[in-house]
Amino acid sequence: MGRVGIGQDSHRFAKGKRSLILGGVKLSDSGGLTGNSDADVILHSLSNALSSAIGGDSLSTWFDEMVEKGVKDSQKSVEYIFQKIKGEKYRVENVSIAVEAKKPYIELTVAAKMKETIASLLEINTKQVGITFTSGEGLTPFGRGLGIQSISTVLLSKNISK
């Protein structure tokens, strides 16, 4: 049996010096996003998609408590929900992530590092992770450079023991 999950997240750019982290990759020491964690919109939308696929709740219902205890790394949110997925006897078949932002421009080598990080977190091959980037032609606040939005879709399948 397959399960599909969709997740979304968006954050405004922060004022002042704050690291920009996307897909588990630190892109710069400045130009970061607002949030009570590292504000990694890619991993937040992925966490929401993974949770949705198993009938779970929004990221904030469980990650906020982790953040209050000092966890700021969004990779921990993916690890947390992935353990629940494995506990339900599912595996990740593929991940598709769409990011809308005017800035920063993401080089293919950086996108490859994001895929490697996500694949490692989900115990899958990098070919099972797709990430696309668009400016949205300036039609939304994200395309005008006010923040970054990420939408993720995941496909899970049941692990069948033989």
- pTM of the predicted model as reported, rounded to 2 decimal places: 0.94
Q: What is the CATH number of domain 2-158?
A: 3.30.1330.50
| pLDDT for the residue numbered 161 | 63
The predicted structure's pLDDT at residue 16: 83
Extract the tokens encoding 8. 């979304």
Q: What is the pLDDT of residues 2-44, one digit of tens each?
A: 999 999 999 999 998 899 999 999 999 888 999 989 999 999 9
pLDDT of 81: 94
Residues β-bridged to residue 21: 26
Nearest-angstrom CA–CA distance, 60 and 78: 13
Beta strands in the chain (DSSP E): 2-12, 20-22, 25-28, 90-100, 129-134, 147-158
| Tens digit of each residue's pLDDT, the chain (162 residues) | 899 999 999 999 999 889 999 999 999 988 899 998 999 999 999 999 999 999 988 888 878 788 788 888 899 999 999 999 999 999 999 999 999 999 999 999 999 999 999 999 999 999 999 999 999 888 999 999 999 999 999 999 998 765
Q: Where are the domains of the chain?
A: 2-158
Closest C-alpha to 98, from 7, 4, 13, 20: 7
Q: What is the pLDDT of residue 160?
A: 77
Q: What pLDDT was estimated at residue 91?
A: 96
CB 118 within 8 A of CB 74: no
